[in-house]
Amino acid sequence: MWKNNNFIILMLGVAISATGMWVGIIGNLEFLQQNIESSFIQALIILAGFIVGVFLAPWAGRIIDSKPKKNVLLVSWAVRISAVIFMFLAIEYNSIWWMLVYTFLMGISGAFINPTIQTLIPMVVNKEELIAANGVNINIFTGARIVGTALGALLLEMMTLNMLYFVMMIAFILTFATTLFLKVEEVFTEENKQKVKESLLTSIKKLGPIITGKPKVISGILLIIPAFLFLSGFNLMMIEISELQADSSIKGIIYTVEGTCVFIGTFLAKRFFNNSKTLKPLIFLSFVISISQLSLYFADMRVTSIISFAMFGIAAGALFPVVTTIFQTEIESEYHGRFFSMKGMLENILFQVLMLLTGLFLDTIGFKVMVLIFGTISTVYVIFIALYRNNKYESSDSNVVVSK
């Protein structure tokens, strides 16, 4: 895998761009804090990019399936480079409107970039290396989150906002340059060209029977929901835990432990969850995530809170590469763009709804009752899937085969 130039180029681009993006997120928060007092309006501006991505996702998927993926990435990186220019204008004129343009452009490019990368990975690596490749992708993004936020905070102390966004722009330019070296052979027929003209309803009609006919895909989709329930309230829970323990430093410790455990989880995915013909490994990982959420009831104790997030990090780090590999191998390659775009759209909607629900519960019933409710729901949900879906999974004709 590491001798594969295309894979190295793709992952190098992910590393550079993701680090730059997280540096920019620190800048976004600083700019909003300087110019807007209302937390609600700040949240709306941050969500604007996600909302644009949700509406564009179906069309983006059709473009990805019908156009050269390398070209889709290049145009998307170019859009991100141009987006930073509008952030320079926002800083110069202290204008939220220019920042909204920046946010919209980032959302538009994001609607294309993430599904395209997930579509490209199975095109540039062998099938038996997919779990490892997906694990590397997750590890790089996790590492970029840790490095990018730390670097952004450091740069903010040392230089102006303009310079911070200049660093972000350089990262996107470097990513654009590395993408130029990708060499992916694709053959497009007249049918491929017609995909762009498909309506949303047509895309759903085509994807529906494909997904429902793949028990592994349905099971994978269902079993990542507990992880999203946990992730959606991650930052809000960090704030609550630091208040429970009266220790602001616990946030940094938990972020570091969770990120490190994600790395461990991706290694375990390749080492212990290969060649599985049953749903049991995925059920086990989702069950661990549910238990980790339940254990947050004792988050007022420092050690317990760290262990809870460590459990989540390991389980999620193993679960996501395995599930992504199932999607990439079970869904026909000509539908990858539309599938991953639609999946991303639904995940964004689910994430935002669950985040709002988390905030509502924290304000009304409190942290401890909330994690008990969420953890219990997740545990019962996973047990239900274990009882009713494992037989269908085992009867699936096509199996994900990954060598150790």
- CB contact burial 155-173 (16+ within 10 A = b; e otherwise): bbeeeebeebbebbbebbb
Q: Are 243 and 236 spatial neighbours (Cβ–Cβ below 8 Å)?
A: no
Q: What is the per-residue pLDDT for 123?
A: 87
Q: Are 299 and 81 spatial neighbours (Cβ–Cβ below 8 Å)?
A: no
Range scoring the smallest mean pLDDT among 79-93, 138-152, 292-306: 138-152
Q: What is the per-residue pLDDT for 315?
A: 94
Q: Looking at the predicted structure, is the pLDDT value of residue 27 above 70?
A: yes
- Considering the chain, what is the average pLDDT of its residues? 83
Domain 205-394 has CATH 1.20.1250.20: yes
Structure tokens that stand for 360 in this block:
């509502």
Q: Where are the domains of the chain?
A: 1-181, 205-394
pLDDT, tens digit (0-9, with 9 covering 90-100), for 60-115: 888 888 888 899 999 999 999 999 999 999 999 999 999 999 999 998 998 899 88
Compute the distance between CA of residue 314 and CA of residue 107 in angstroms, rounded to an integer: 29
pLDDT band at 202 (very low <50, low <70, confident <90, very high): low
Range scoring the smallest mean pLDDT among 197-211, 230-244, 279-293: 197-211
Compute the distance between CA of residue 131 and CA of residue 156 in angstroms, rounded to an integer: 37
Structure tokens that stand for 161 in this block:
């906002």
Domain 1-181, second-level architecture: Up-down Bundle (1.20)
Q: Determine the average pLDDT of the residues in 279-307.
A: 92
Q: What is the per-residue pLDDT for 100?
A: 93
Asked if 1-181 and 205-394 have one fold, the answer is: yes
Q: What is the per-residue pLDDT for 400?
A: 41
Residues ≥6 apart with Cβ < 8 Å to 200: 58, 59
Residue 133 backbone dihedrals phi, psi, to 5 degrees: -65, -45
pTM assigned to the model = 0.75
* Greatest mean pLDDT range, 48-57, 303-312, 335-344: 303-312
- In 3D space, the residue among 363, 373, 375, 285 whose CA is nearest the CA of residue 322 turns out to be 285
